[in-house]
Structures are given as C-alpha cells and as structure tokens.
Amino acid sequence: MHHSKASSNSEATKAPQVDVVIENHNTIFLFRPLSESARAWIEENVSRDGFHPDWPTLVVEHRYAGNLAAGMQADGLVLR
C-alpha cells in the first residue's frame, strides 16, 4: 500500500504538458501552440483573417488576449 501512495504522489506533482506559450510583447501577445491539441483548437476557433504571418502562432492585440486565453483554458488547454 505504501508503494502505490508514493507513485500516486509523483503523478500528482508531475506538471501537465503545456499546450500554448503566451509571449507578452507590450501591445501584442503571441500565442505559440506547442501541442497538436492547441493547433487543432486554433484551426477550429480562430479566423485566419488578420495578421498571422507565422500561422498557427497567433498575433493578438492585448485587448483580446485575455478572452482568447480564457477560451483556451475553458476547453482544457494548458497555458504558460
């Protein structure tokens, strides 16, 4: 019994995989997808209209970054 508790503790402390890295560049944020789940989420939820020269990395004005991050998190993506 003691052994299984130790393994469950190590699983509990294991960091989840990061799906999206967000970079703050003052007036814009870059949302860089790292996982296939993040790329699929962006394809399904974000229009390619606008300035996204490095698609699927998103170039986002600061006023929209919070809502975008909240939507990603609500759908289970891990952000950093």
Q: Which two tokens stand for residue 10?
A: 């190590």
CB-based contact 77:40 (threshold 8 Å): no
**42 found inside a domain:** yes
Domain count, the chain: 1
* SS3 label, residue 22: strand
Instruction: Calculate helix-pair angle for 36-45, 62-74, nearest 10 degrees.
Output: 120
Instruction: For residues 39 and 33, give the distance between their C-alpha atoms in angstroms, rounded to a whole number.
Output: 6
Q: Find the domain containing 32 and state its range.
A: 16-74
* SS3 label, residue 30: strand
**3 found inside a domain:** no
Instruction: For residues 47 and 56, give the distance between their C-alpha atoms in angstroms, rounded to a whole number.
Output: 10
pTM listed for this prediction: 0.79
**Which pLDDT does position 51 carry in this prediction?**
86
**29 found inside a domain:** yes
Residue 34 has pLDDT above 70, yes or no: yes
Better-predicted residue by pLDDT, 16 or 70:
70
